Amino acid sequence: MKRDEGMKLLENGKRLDGRALDEIRDVKIEVGILKRAAGSAYLEWGNNKVLAGVYYPREMHPKFMRDPTKAVLRCTYNMAPFSVDDRKRPGPDRRSQEISKILSEALSSAVIIEDYPDAGIDVSVEILQADAGTRCAGLTAASVAIADAGIPMKDLVSSCAAGKIDGEIAVDLMKEEDNYGESDVPLAILPRKKEVVLLQMDGKLSREEFKRAYKLAFDGAMKVYEIQKAALLSSMNSVKGDGE
Amino acid sequence: MKLEEHLRGDYIRNLVKEGKRLDNRGFDEYRELEIEPGYVGEKACGSAFVKLGDTKVLAGISMDVGEPYADSPGEGVLTTSTELRPIASPYFESGPPRQESIELARIVDRGIRESGAIPTEKLAIDDEKVWVVFIDIHVLDNCGNLIDASGIASIAALLDAKMPRFEDDAIIRGEWDGKLPIESTPIPCTVAKISDQLLLDPTQDEEYAMGARLTVATTDTINAMQKGGVGTLTEKDIDDAIELAFSRGSDIRKIVEG
């Protein structure tokens, strides 16, 4: 996308919203806010607003997709029509189908799917307001929702992106940076094992720049992990409190 | 499908633990690559038939005149689609594209788009009209690693492509006006992680066995990456995959450029 002449993404080392290059936006998570879903989470990440819900265990349909050795986890990523400036036509487009696939694979890498042969686990990610980084925000919320549902996992999935703006590598791009930036690297990890479950990249990066982007995204995801843990712990404390 | 996948996957995983591949390749070795540019040269602007081992893919380039995207006035448009035709595998069915083929097309598209291979600003006709370049990937025989085979076929077809003649506000079909300008040769390289090893250019059986998969498309920089599959990668895996993508990518680029 072309930007107006003279528009700068960086001024004196600060970004449009005043953040430093290695600073992520504010992330807030609320656990268990949907009644019908087995587990749920609402997440705000800068101006992103995301809702994730889990339905399980489900009979797997269509039948031919059933797997007698493990559960099939399907994640559906969906953007609300009003979540972006120009209304998005409702329903799946090619972008959201690709994101649904890689989110499903990332979550399947964390959930102990071998515990649920023949079953289906359905995860919905609804983007209510989008401001760049929605796949990372959605995945982060989905993993909290799965934990809230009590489904056994090897670890939470924590996610964050990094990119390149005005020649500098920066973490967690916001909308303007994403539109006019030069590269984007979304990453998701299992924080305790430090292993990668989602990685994409587009743009032009040297190997050194990629290394820098990887490190910033990884460190960002570790910060997100702490916020996920705190949200889950406080939701459990409030459940305990109700019983007393 | 599931049973076959499990049995073949198990066999391959055990073989990899012994340091072997079914076709005796080294883990960092590509299958034999053959490229035939201009395979369907009468109607399509460009084409290339690629054989990667037993995997066969035909990519065709069509061009049309259309409107630029609202956020990119004065720039040509690139569209990439894949058809996983039922002829290519007992598991492919007719119908609208599924996630697998959408992902395939989008990985190939990103490698080409982000490398700047197609100088879109040179594809403007006037303020309202631009050239639209369609890459259509026709998978004909799926014996594994469709991403690399499709990516190589696509850039080879682009390098083969001619510009249709455009006169008096209309395309004159069957007449050409020079080559489609192509400014770099992005090459995707895919590894599969099996039994904690990275295997370059996986076959179909190796895809049954794999956990995670990583594709890295390069020119002189990294232009696109995509992790796929259920499983995890370490930082070292990613570093090794990038190293392989640059070294093997430059070998493949020589074959593609002829």
What is the rounded distance in angstroms from the CA atom of residue A184 to the CA atom of residue A169? Answer: 10
Q: What is the mean pLDDT of residues B210-232?
A: 98
Confidence of residue A1 (pLDDT cuts 50, 70, 90): low
Q: What is the reported pLDDT for B4?
A: 83
What phi and psi values does residue A191 have, to the nearest 5 degrees?
-65, -35
Partner A contacted by B103 (CB < 8 A): yes
What phi and psi values does residue A230 have, to the nearest 5 degrees?
-60, -40
Cβ-contact A71, A117 below 8 angstroms: yes
For A46-59, the pLDDT digits (tens) are 999 999 999 988 88
Quote the pTM value. 0.93
H or E segment to which residue A184 belongs: strand A183-190
Closest alpha carbon within chain B to A157 = B232
Residue A240 above 60 pLDDT? Answer: no
Q: What is the mean pLDDT of residues B82-90?
A: 91
> Whole domain around residue B189: which residue ranges?
2-257
Partner B contacted by A80 (CB < 8 A): no
Are the beta carbons of A199 and B102 separated by less than 8 Å? no
What is the rounded distance in angstroms from the CA atom of residue B245 to the CA atom of residue B257? Answer: 17
Domain membership flag for residue A127? yes
Output the CA angle A134-B70-B45, nearest 5 degrees.
100
Task: Tell me what ipTM this predicted complex has.
Answer: 0.91
Residue B225 above 50 pLDDT? Answer: yes
In 3D, which of A116, A121, A158 has the Cα closest to residue A140? A158
For B171-199, the pLDDT digits (tens) are 999 999 999 999 999 999 999 999 999 99
Confidence of residue B95 (pLDDT cuts 50, 70, 90): confident
Residue A2 above 60 pLDDT? Answer: yes
Are the beta carbons of A197 and B232 separated by less than 8 Å? yes
Domain membership flag for residue A5? no
Q: How many structural domains does chain A have?
A: 1
Interface of A with B in 148-187 (CB under 8 A): 183, 185
Partner B contacted by A105 (CB < 8 A): yes
Beta-sheet strands, E only, within A80-175: 119-129, 158-165, 168-171
CA atoms within 13 A on the CB side of A176: 10
Are the beta carbons of A202 and B224 separated by less than 8 Å? yes
Q: What is the mean pLDDT of residues B24-42?
A: 96
Output the average pLDDT for chain B: 95
Whether residue A62 has a cis bond before it, omega within 30° of 0: yes
Residue B71 above 80 pLDDT? Answer: yes
Count of Cβ atoms closer than 10 Å to residue B137 Cβ: 26
For A18-55, the pLDDT digits (tens) are 999 999 999 999 999 999 999 999 999 999 999 999 99
For B148-172, the pLDDT digits (tens) are 999 999 999 999 999 999 999 999 9
Q: Which residues of B touch A196 (CB under 8 A)?
A: 212, 227, 232-235, 237-238
Confidence of residue A243 (pLDDT cuts 50, 70, 90): very low
Q: What is the reported pLDDT for A218?
A: 98
Q: How many structural domains does chain B have?
A: 1
Domain membership flag for residue A218? yes
Kindly state the tokens that stand for B176: 């050409």
CATH number for position A233: 3.30.230.70
> Whole domain around residue A208: which residue ranges?
14-243
Confidence of residue A239 (pLDDT cuts 50, 70, 90): low
Count of Cβ atoms closer than 10 Å to residue A186 Cβ: 25
Output the average pLDDT for chain A: 94
For A183-226, the pLDDT digits (tens) are 999 999 999 999 999 999 999 999 999 999 999 999 999 999 99
Are the beta carbons of A102 and B227 separated by less than 8 Å? yes
Domain membership flag for residue A7? no
